[in-house]
Structure 1
Amino acid sequence: MTVNPTTPLQPVKPAGTRKRIMIVCPSLGFGGAETQIIVTAIGMKARGHEVAIYLLSTEKDRADEVRAAGVTLWEDNRNSRLDLPLLQRLRRVVRDWKPDLIHGYLFDGNLYARLAGMGRKVPVLSAERSSDYALRPAQTVAHLASRWRSDGVVANSWAGAALAKQMYPSLKNHIHVTWNGIDVAEVQRRAAAASGMRETLGIPEQAKVACFVGMVKPDKDFLLAVETTRALLQQADTPWHVIFVGAPIYQFMTYAAGGAAEMDSYAEQVEAAFATLPLQQNVHRLGNSKQVIELMAQSDVFFSTSVREGFPNVVLEAMTAGVPVVSTAYSDIQMILPQPWQVVTERDSHTMAAAIIRAAEDKELAQIQKDWVNQHATLDCAVDALEAVYELYIPRPAGLAS
């Protein structure tokens, strides 16, 4: 089953039986994949399914909101890329909890989900949350050795599905696209209640505010975001302030991993670029925050400079909060943003800045964006699609087979 990107989903009729779903993922931090795991797990729980999340690391930031929703949560503590004692613990949980289906998320979650399912008659789904990337050598070995245990792949973008077909050649007919979805009412509630940002940061009322959200890593092209900031700060007609929400990704690594030195070096380049910006008082770097929606809602424009990504939750949240969005071209973003000019195909800071200024002046764009989300990317849309995929893989009890 795939989701047509131009047609709203129709609700799936309940199968009449409650499913037991186990999700395996590295952590529950502030990334888009983690946010989607949380909201869909809560959405599946609200539909009457039993949902459990097995974390490969102890997670303090967002565990409470998961447990408050009644979702079972196991927090482990991985010490290496392939932690055999942890794998044994995970396999024991699978044996005792007896899930109807295991769904891995992100590379390590996919790997551990597949290894946990070996020797057990339980369907295993892998996830593809990005596109246009290559695995590292060690990841390639682990993927090739374990991919046979995947029964299907759930991608959150059409670009990701295309990559998945290359990575899982035997599963070409079992690649499913389910776009992300958000709790529209909750985002709008938080956006409506947001206040105080300008006063706290010392931003004058006449100034325009652009907001950028993302971890400091090459995929987000932070260097282009900094140069776009420079171009905005140089505007003579209107003063601009730019808010950055997010921290370097290496701060969340709980074990030594390939690529850590590269991430550290990239973070240093970003710091050096920030140091050369004029009007430093107009640049506000806030680190990670649980108030992303509130910060975006009080901004004039949200912008993204990603090189690669899957389906960006933060873009949906900005659109729902009534904030115009401008983005570089990646993945399915040209299907998501309703006006063609919102997607900048040239990776050029001045072109980005011009589109941001245009978005801030467009009085109709906010409502157009809200209408798109309501039609294509609500939480109900996402849960409907995921339930339909799960139905394809979970055997029906005797007497219910069609």
Structure 2
Amino acid sequence: MHSITGLNVGGAEYMLARFLRCLGQDNYRAAVLSLMTPGPLEVHVAAAGASVHSLSMRQGRFSLSSVRSLNGIFQKIKPELVHGWMYHGNIAASIGCRIGHLNAPIIWSVHHSLYDIAVEKPLTQKLIRLSARLSNQASAITYSSYVAAKQHEAVGFDPRHRVVIHNGIDCEEFQPAFPGAKLALAQRLRIPDQRVIIGSIGRFHPMKDQATLVQAFAQLLAEGYDIHGLFVGAGHEDGVVIKTAQQLGIDDRISTLGASDDIPAIAPGLDIHAISSAWGETFSMATAEAMASGVPSLVTDVGDCALVVGDTGEVVARRDPKALAAALRRLLDLGRDARRQLGARARRRIVENFSLQRYVDSHVALYQKLHEGRLLKPKQM
């Protein structure tokens, strides 16, 4: 059983759906517990052959009836292994096994970096501290970055259960498509096709610090660079990106698209992909998907983003629009052909180090170790 907060659009949620699709149901028959009402990714999870169950909880609300429903689902499924996804899913996995008197191995997975717990929501802070106290009861704790592992262990997560498994990219789904993808995207944005499109794929969230990237765009436009910024993801409509662009007088050079299932078609149309995250990022799925699409990338030094990019792109400090502008300037000055060569190297890096198959194989190996009892036994509550 996989336990997750919900099935809305997000990096961890997409990873679960893709993981289930590749894992198949022959050896690992899967059920998914969505604590909240399942979102749009429920269709993908069901298509992978997994049964979907839900507590239909409201955000931030946990009640006695939720506990009863949780117990009922665990008693019905009687899972042989429970895999939690993100803080809420991890805790639900442990509680479900405890109240259901199930002796199944429990995997926690952490998909968040923790630079300063004080910037998290109060409820999230409490959940992290509770998780730290209960972490010795997990059979294994997987982290999607080395940085996140160290940060969580610094606040009390049990280091003995650490397993780092970076996210994986489906390199068949995400592929370069030059030159047609660029032309199609320029037409969609109603801009000249020779203009350089710098994209940033990801929902709006304060931790992603997208306003700083808009400030970097303004610097480059003031210097005469012919660029267009594109932000793709939920929450950008009339949000911080647009308001910042309006304040800087560059809103005619910024476009936003809402949440999209068309990322494999959008990503290869970009000339450069950039993220400006200030915290929270562990492994940027958007960056790795852009790289698999043959697009050179710029990241801030958050989580394992620098490790993902390696020498195929640019890495800068957090919350520094001048550094972002300087790194983008270097990529722009390379010219189109050199950027495509860099993008080809970026794709090879993802194929060789961060493929979806590698992600699946790493989890299967972990499942097998747990099945055979070859990992440290967790403490009981």
TM-score (structure 1 length as normaliser): 0.81
Q: In the alignment, what sits opposite 1:130?
A: 112
Residue 100 of structure 1, CA deviation: 1.6
The equivalent position to 1:343 in structure 2, one of 315, 319, 325, is 315
Residue number in structure 2 paired with 1:332? 304
Gaps of 5+ in 2: 374-381
Report the CA distance between 1:181 and its aligned residue. 0.6
Counterpart position of 1:29: 8
Q: Which of 270, 285, 288 is the aligned partner of 1:316?
A: 288
**Which residue number in structure 1 is paired with residue 45 of structure 2?**
66
Query: How far apart in 2 are the matches of 1:373 and 1:46?
Result: 27
For these two proteins, the number of residue pairs brought into alignment is 357
Structure 1 distance, partners of 2:360, 2:204, is: 30
Asked if the contact 1:153–1:164 (Cα under 8 Å) also holds between the matched residues in 2, the reply is: no
- Equivalent of 2:232, from 245, 248, 251? 245
Amino acid at match of 1:393: L
Aligned counterparts of 2:284 and 2:325: Cα–Cα separation in 1 = 20
Does structure 1 conserve the Cα–Cα contact (< 8 Å) formed by 2:31 and 2:50?
yes
Partner amino acid for 2:160?
Answer: N
Q: Which moved more, 1:324-333 or 1:287-296?
A: 287-296
Q: Are 2:91 and 1:120 equivalent residues in the alignment?
A: no
**Identical aligned residues as a percent:** 24
* 1:178 CA drift (Å): 0.6
Question: Alpha-carbon deviations, 1:353-381, whole Å to 9, x = none?
Answer: 23224324334211111111111111111
The 1-side partners of 2:312 and 2:355 are apart by 22
Deviations 1:180-201 (A, max 9, x none): 1111112228899856321121
C-alpha distance in structure 2 between counterparts of 1:342 and 1:281, whole Å: 26
Residue 109 of structure 1, CA deviation: 1.0
CA 1:269 to 1:294, structure 2 compared with 1: closer, same or farther past 3 Å? closer
- Number of the residue aligned with 2:376: none
CA contact (8 A) 2:210 2:275 kept: no
Q: CA deviation at 1:145?
A: 5.8
Counterpart for residue 22 of structure 2: 43
- CA RMSD across the alignment: 2.6
TM superposition score normalised by structure 2: 0.85
CA distance in 2, matches of 1:302, 1:175: 31
| CA deviation after TM superposition for structure 1 residue 301, in Å | 0.5
The corresponding residue for 2:327 is 355
Is 2:41 aligned against 1:54?
A: no
Question: How far has the Cα of 1:311 moved from its partner?
Answer: 1.1
Residue 276 of structure 1 aligns to a residue whose secondary structure is helix
Q: Give the deviation of 1:165 after TM superposition.
A: 2.3
Shift of 1:341: 6.0
Does the alignment pair 1:298 with 2:298? no
1:365 maps to 342
CA-CA distance at 1:58 after TM superposition: 2.1
C-alpha deviations, 1:40-74, integer Å up to 9, x for none?
12222267421221111223422212212212222
Structure 1 residues 41-50 or 150-159, which shifts more?
A: 41-50
Distance 2:86 2:363 in 1: 16
If asked which structure has higher relative contact order (CA below 8 Å, sep 6+), I would say 1
Render the CA deviation track for 1:209-248: whole Å, top value 9, x for unaligned. 0001222222111221221221233231x42111111233
Instruction: Answer yes or no: is the 8 Å Cα contact 2:78–2:102 preserved in 1.
Output: no
Q: What residue in structure 1 maps to residue 172 of structure 2? A: 185
